[in-house]
Amino acid sequence: MLVYFFRTRRCGAILSNNGRKKSYYTYSLWAAVVLWMAVIFTFSHESGTASSERSTGVTVLIETAINTVIPADAGMDRENFQYFIRKTAHFSVYFVLSILVVNALRASNVVRSRAWWLTLLISILYAASDEFHQLFIPGRSGQVTDVLIDTVGASVGLGVYWLSSWIWRKERRKTVRSKEVVRDD
């Protein structure tokens, strides 16, 4: 699981053991956040035509995959399907962003509840700034509904992170308890 990978700090295991491991690990998590924000910015900076061509290409690709399972005359409306794909992309990128941000905050020793609220705030502000940015791109427009979809994606991402963390902590407690029982014998 993604959270397990980051929580066990496997990506920092190759670094020296002289106390810098955690800081390099934390910096790498923040670098992932910045990189993901740059990806979002790059997609938002595309002109309306380029963005439409990209989503049409994705729609056709998915439509082709669906047509192999469901007959082509199943009554799918391409325009509505493309709209669904675009909004799912909004949801998905902010889902990932929220997991990256909360993970970086937790690695930076931010208390769990504060990390969740800060993650939500960062995600909402970035979504709003992203839509504002699109007002200045030819053929694009900023929409409040997109900010709401982005916020829902970030919230669900936080929920998945929380659930994964809870399961991870629960399993870890079981492991610790079972080791204590073995030692007592």
pLDDT in tens, 42-75: 888 877 676 666 766 776 777 777 777 776 655 6
The span from the CA of 7 to the CA of 41, in Å, is 28
pLDDT tens profile 136-154: 888 888 889 999 999 999 9
First to last CA, the chain: 33
Q: What is the pTM of this model?
A: 0.74
Beta strand ranges found along the chain (DSSP E): none
